[in-house]
Chains A and B, each alone.
Chain A
Amino acid sequence: MLETLKLTKRFNGHVAVNDLNLLIKPGEVFALLGPNGAGKTTTINLLLGFLTPDAGEARVNGASVATDPIAARRQIAYIPEQVMLYPRFTGVENLDYFSTLGGRRHTREELLALLKRAGLPAEAADRRVGTYSKGMRQKVGIALALATEAKALLLDEPTSGLDPAASHEFSLLLRKLAGQGVAVLMATHDLFRAREDATRIGILLDGKLAGDYATNDIKHVDLEKLYLKHLRA
């Protein structure tokens, strides 16, 4: 479960996240839409404890990010827009390294199976990451999310730059994870993916949640129009 309570963050007087209240339950996929600078990435950074809030609190599965940061982070899997890995390590070595950092040790067979589940071709697993495409690195990131067995998943523009097939594979995995009870927060500009994957859609403007819709309730609404309506309001 991901939770923010009156979460506020200012940068040099500019309010990036303003009194934000969010509750993402296990199994929910919450797509956070908003223009550049709306505060989407800042919200994710606050949930990861990478930023210290000026007010309010962020919690992951009940653990306060401010007071129990390690416990909070250990329940999170995070996939940034660009999954940056060690280019001198192979895919399997990168997965081994980062998952062990998170306190989970896997055998080589388990790591290979995780990479396979994430959609990475078997022949690529033992190749150095320096030769990987962005999509392949993203898949290592997904494998890492699977390896950590996290209760919450934070995604920052996860499908940006992925080809449609890779994007589709990613969606399938995301739904599978949600089906296993993972709470997902996905910051994105991709309205199509948001409608396809999310169970709830939030529109963030100037750090405030301007709209919060259950995807089922807006099934017949043009999401682009709704989004633009909020922007122009």
Chain B
Amino acid sequence: MTSHLFKLELRLLARERVAWVMLVLFAAALGYGLWNGGRLAGQQREIAVAISKDKESFHAQLREYLGRQSLDPKAVAGQGTMAVLPPAPLPLLATGQSDLSPGHESVVLWKLAAPADTRSELENPSHLLAGRFDFAFVLVWLFPLFLLAMVYDLMAGDRESGTLRLALAQGVAPMQWLLRRALARALPILALAALATLVAGMFGSPGGTTLRLTLALAVVLAYGLFWVALAVAVNVVARSAASAATSLGAAWVLLVLVAPTLLNVSVETLYPTPSRPELVAAGRKASGEAEKRGGDLLNSFYRDHPELAPPGQQADFAAQHLTVQGEVGRAVEPVRQKFDAQLAQQQTAVGRWRFVSPAIAAHEALTDLAGTGYWRYRAFREQVNAFKQTVADFYTPKIHRREPLTMADYERLPRFSFREEPAGDWLERAAVGLAGMLVLTGALGLWAWRRLRPSRLEPLSN
């Protein structure tokens, strides 16, 4: 019975021309989002490959040189080394921070105190401001609209036309009827979104991402089901298809446009980040002051570290620069720490308040699972900062002692290797997001069920 009715509901939907138009438009939007995300992921992958080749070539040359002769550590340190964030696990799923935060950074001994977050590749600023038309944009913003276009009139139109009375008179449980219709009408859009998510996971992914992809699929479906549940709840009370459409349109504006903006403004107000110019200015000021006191600083440094002092304590330019840089780093550190702490607090607040809108929860979960979210980029920044210290610890003593770099040092040369976040961390965040969306969906469903008990048909049938 149920499957036969489900088929009849699908047949009824298939007779609506607008349903086909919506399906085609949604498929086109998904395709464009995937293509756009794929293009960016491709560019980033090419950059990563090029950097990796450069690094290999540099290390091969270095090994060859060191095999023949020792080298001045200043010369090698000046070449720098690239810290690269490996391609995201599911890059097509969400662009996330990957077009804003750099996925690689040149770590040069002489520039360790310089702010890190500067991009090397060119990007249209308006793209950065508006965000990309990526797959996550289609899923978070447009998916609900296409879904609502299919399910806005689940029962309200029947109520208006009178078919609802005839249907209810057959002795069907109203909630069962409504749910079957909701699922049948939502099925084509949900299936298309799920299929596109699988495509996003299969292409451009480095592999070993089954768990991430499964969770992403669950997030997409849970997000879709939330909107279906909302449509069910609205249809329980709406007296006409037009009023149901208006209410659901307003809900979309509120949950997808207004709530994320309000949350963004609120966290910015509660946890304001020091401006980037402030960070740069602090560095410049500290740098200027430290350079003026360069000689004094170096003397004071050798007083503290006599083991590093060269014979005769003749300071050269490089040693002085390193000492000045150390001072600048220490001066800038509180501002940088404040910047990072405020960013972390903002993100924690977003995590805590994401359930004010499932759009926020879904976007957070998708970028997290894609590996383009805040936490993976933060891990990269932290690991780059730690790597800078490793570079400084390796080269600084040699430069102060004027020790040459030999073949024995080759294997100990600092090399950056990104350690992915433990799976438990992103799994927990995504699972909480998913559970939150399911709870919201369940709450809406429960409310609708309570309103639609078979013995309470009065509000529906007049």
Residue ranges of A at the interface with B (Cβ–Cβ < 8 Å): 45, 48-52, 66-67, 69-76, 78, 80, 82-86, 88-89, 93, 96-103, 105, 141, 144, 148
Contacts and interface: CB of A to CB of B under 8 A. Distances in A.
Contacts of A96: 8
A71 B173 CA distance: 10
Nearest to A74: B171
A88 B161 CA distance: 13
> Which of A80, A89, A100 has the most CB atoms of chain B within a 10 A radius of its CB?
A100
Contacts of B11: 89, 93
Contacts of B166: 78, 80, 83-85, 98, 141, 144
Nearest to B177: A101
Given A74-B170, A76-B171, A89-B8, 10 more contacts: A48-B168, A50-B458, A78-B165, A84-B166, A89-B12, A89-B15, A98-B167, A98-B170, A102-B171, A148-B170
The 5 closest A-B pairs by CB, nearest first: A84-B162, A73-B171, A102-B170, A50-B461, A74-B171
B454 interface: yes
7 contacts: A51-B461, A69-B455, A70-B173, A88-B15, A98-B167, A101-B171, A101-B172
Contacts, number: 96
Given A85-B163, A101-B172, A70 B12 contact: no
A10 B57 CA distance: 90
B425 interface: no
B5 A97 contact: yes
A100 B462 contact: no
Main secondary structure of the interface of B (DSSP, over half): loop
Nearest to B453: A69
A85 B133 CA distance: 42
A86 B12 contact: yes
A82 B162 contact: yes
B16 interface: yes
Contacts of B455: 49, 52, 66-67, 69
Contact of B161 (A49, A84, A93, A99): A84
B202 to A, nearest CB: 37
Given A84-B162, A97-B8, A78 B169 contact: yes
A82 B11 CA distance: 24
Contacts of B386: none
Contacts of A48: 168-169, 461
B4 interface: yes
Contacts of B161: 84
B53 interface: no
B457 interface: yes
Interface in B410-456: 454-456
Interface of B: 1, 4-5, 8, 11-12, 15-16, 161-163, 165-173, 177, 454-458, 460-462
Nearest to A69: B454
Contacts of A84: 161-163, 165-166
> Which of B166, B167, B172, B173 has the most CB atoms of chain A within a 10 A radius of its CB?
B166
Contacts of A73: 168-171
A9 B1 CA distance: 36
A99 B170 CA distance: 7
A93 B12 CA distance: 10
Contacts of A71: 171
Given A49-B455, A100-B8, A70 B165 contact: no
B20 to A, nearest CB: 13
A50 B171 contact: no
B171 A88 contact: no
Given A80-B165, A84-B161, A88-B12, A100 B171 contact: no
Given A69-B454, A82-B162, A148-B170, A100 B177 contact: no
A52 B456 contact: yes
Given A49-B454, A49-B457, A80 B162 contact: yes
A144 B166 CA distance: 10
A51 B169 contact: no
B15 A100 contact: no
A40 to B, nearest CB: 15
A45 B461 CA distance: 9
B171 A103 contact: yes
A83 B165 CA distance: 10
Contacts of A98: 166-167, 170
Contacts of B5: 97, 100-101
Nearest to B172: A101
A213 B173 CA distance: 37
